[in-house]
Amino acid sequence: MEDKIKAIQEEAIAKIGSVSNLDDLEGVRVDYLGKKGDLTKILRGMGSLEPEMRPVIGGLVNKVKGEINKAISQKESQLKEAAKKERLKMETIDVTLPGNELKVGKKHPLTLVFDEIKDIFLGLGFTIAEGPEIETDYYNFEALNFPDNHPARDMQDTFYITENTLLRTHTSSVQIRTMEGQEPPIRVIAPGRVYRSDDIDATHTPVFHQIEGLMVDKDISFANLKGVLIKLIKELFGDDREVRFRPSYFPFTEPSAEVDVSCAACDGDGCRVCSGTGWLEILGAGMVHPNVLEMSGVDSEEWSGFAFGMGVERIAMLKYGIDDIRLLYNNDLRFLKQF
Ligand code: PHE
């Protein structure tokens, strides 16, 4: 009997030594110390032993139980310690690992130019005006002094929705809407999308952007127009650029001018960028034609004004040295990331 108890002890200690998790350890405890365990069976069978053997066997069983219990608690703390170490190892942060890169978006070059021009004009006391892209013939042409069949309409062929509604060819229509909607003095810029039925090439797209400017007040002269545009161009392209006003024609301004900036690539000497002229055309401008003022309800005896309009793509291309307008619309990240 004593040998049997010793054997149970050895077997139990060996099993405790070999378990690798707390669940299995609990299994061993139940097998040896539980109600149906081997040692309990022996205690239950004590009645059949000789009376003088009972205390001997009882004592031995209890001692063995104690040993097994001790071995179990030791193993239990070992397993718990190991589990804790494992958890800590998994939770450690390797501060030497590179961080997660946050990819920050960039503004599109056209947005950059819009923002810059808006800032310049807001600083000069202008506000922002808007008009619809689907426009009537009246606002796009008629009220801008392009009568029906006027040859200047040919330069701005567009997409017609009906005979009288079309996609606006320029932001000049906003001049009319603004003058109809508010009394002078007026100082607005009108940024927006415009359309022409042009074929796509390195400098043309059928959809592009313009910023219009309009100032109407008492005694506005061409000198005011020059002052504002020279300020704009120097802010946009740098103080060392020259500005040139060339006589031109628009039905809605008189006199009219086309405005050039000296070529930054050759400093005005003439190169491939400026086709040898030393100048780059960037906008159209002029004094608002009295017919236009009158048609919009502004007394041309009392008020005068100037207007200008520029292509935003063209300015972005010159400012950032972009040689193909299509790059602005291809959404190629290699291009867009550069701004
Ligand atoms: N609307 C003209 C164009 O698109 C530009 C312009 C605007 C000219 C205002 C004079 C005054 O070509």
Find the CATH number of the domain harbouring 309: 3.30.930.10
Is the peptide bond preceding residue 132 cis, with omega within 30 degrees of 0? Answer: no
* Residues 81 and 125 occupy one common structural domain: no
Q: Ligand 1 pocket check: which of 140, 170, 226 to mutate, most ligand atoms within 8 Å of Cβ?
A: 170
Q: Where are the alpha helices (DSSP H) in 258-311?
A: 290-295
Strand partners, 283: 259, 310
Q: How far is the CA of 120 from the centre of ligand 1 (A)?
A: 19
Residue ranges making up the domain that contains 298: 109-336
* Residues 63 and 17 occupy one common structural domain: yes
Query: Is there a domain that residue 266 lies in?
Result: yes
Measured distance CA(122)–CA(138) in Å, rounded: 29
Q: Is 195 in the pocket of ligand 1 (CB under 6 A)?
A: no
Of 34, 60, 90, which marks where a domain is finished? 90
Q: Which residues of 330-339 are buried (b: 16+ CB within 10 A; e: fewer)?
A: eeeeeebeee
Q: Is 253 in the pocket of ligand 1 (CB under 6 A)?
A: yes
Q: Is 114 in the pocket of ligand 1 (CB under 6 A)?
A: no
Query: Is there a domain that residue 36 lies in?
Result: yes
Q: How far is the CA of 123 from the centre of ligand 1 (A)?
A: 23
Measured distance CA(252)–CA(286) in Å, rounded: 8
* Residues 250 and 323 occupy one common structural domain: yes
Pair of tokens at residue 39:
């040692």
Residue 197: DSSP 8-state: -
243 closest CA partner among 288, 278, 286, 287: 278
Q: pTM of the entire structure?
A: 0.72
Pair of tokens at residue 320:
């950032």
Overall number of domains in the chain: 2
Instruction: Indicate which atom in ligand 1 lies nearest the CA of residue 285.
Output: 10
Nearest CA to ligand 1 atom 12: 284
Per-residue pLDDT tens listing for the chain (339 residues): 788 888 888 888 888 888 888 888 888 888 888 888 877 877 778 888 888 888 888 888 888 888 888 888 888 888 888 888 988 888 888 888 888 888 888 999 999 999 999 999 999 999 999 999 999 999 999 999 998 888 888 888 899 999 999 999 999 999 999 999 999 999 999 999 999 999 999 989 999 999 999 999 999 999 999 999 999 999 999 999 999 999 999 999 999 999 999 998 899 999 888 889 999 999 999 999 999 999 999 999 999 999 999 999 999 999 999 999 999 999 999 999 999
Instruction: Indicate which atom in ligand 1 lies nearest the CA of residue 210.
Output: 4
Instruction: Indicate which atom in ligand 1 lies nearest the CA of residue 309.
Output: 7
Q: Is 284 in the pocket of ligand 1 (CB under 6 A)?
A: yes
Q: Is 113 in the pocket of ligand 1 (CB under 6 A)?
A: no
